[in-house]
Amino acid sequence: MSAIQSKSAFLYREIRRALRSGRYVPGQRIDPATIAEEFHTSATPVRFALYRLVGEGLIADHARSGLYVPLLTEVALRDLYDWMRRLLLMACEIGIEVTPLAATDSRVVSTEDDIPNLTWHLFDSIARATDHRSLHQAVKQANDRLAPIRRAGRVDDACEELSALIRHWQECDIGSLSAGLSAYHERRKQLVPHIVASLGDNSDLFN
């Protein structure tokens, strides 16, 4: 692997982590020059990393206006929630190959917790436990696309909701987990107009 490829792979992981952590919010412009300066590198590996993320749907290329964190429409967001729901229900139908208790934090979720991060890890654990790599990869990609949205579009009672999902997962109660996952995503589909509106308000800060 060349030095540029190695640096690009490193930057890809760092930018992807930054997107998931909420450093960049939906609608925010991502400046390659700023990233290059931050990591003391040239623009070439930065652009390789960014366009890899464009290919995965985590960054949108708006041509002359630059690169942005995607700001989804109501239709696109409903579709993404439904896709994640279907993937997770498929994982529940396939079954698990590892003990859930080893993959999930047993604490009750509180408002002080990083709820978007815990949600990402729970959904990732459910998919990973099937031992189906293609399914896990699909969930991981959808999870990453939803991560910035989960941070910007907060939902009331998310702590109780996530606590119940984690409990069902830990107890291997797949029936209750499947029902809970369906309810979780249906609720968010109903909240899509509110979530998209709040995302649009946040994006105005960067335009």
Q: Residue 168: which CATH number?
A: 1.20.120
Determine what percent of the chain is predicted with pLDDT higher than 70: 88
Give the pLDDT confidence score for residue 193 in this predicted structure: 92
Report whether pLDDT(205) > 50.
no
End-to-end CA distance of the chain: 38
Higher pLDDT, 207 or 150: 150
Q: If you average pLDDT over residues 166-194, what whole number do you get?
A: 93
* Domain enclosing residue 167, as ranges: 74-200
In what side-by-side order are the strands of the sheet with 60-61?
29-30, 67-68, 60-61
> Both 52 and 94 in a single domain?
no
Asked which of 24, 39, 70 is the last residue of a domain, the reply is 70
Q: What is the pTM of this model?
A: 0.84
Give the pLDDT confidence score for residue 109 in this predicted structure: 78
Quote the number of domains for the chain.
2
Q: Distance between CA 92 and CA 15 in Å, rounded?
A: 31
User: Over the stretch 81-110, which tens digit does the pLDDT of each residue have?
Assistant: 999 999 999 999 987 655 554 444 555 677
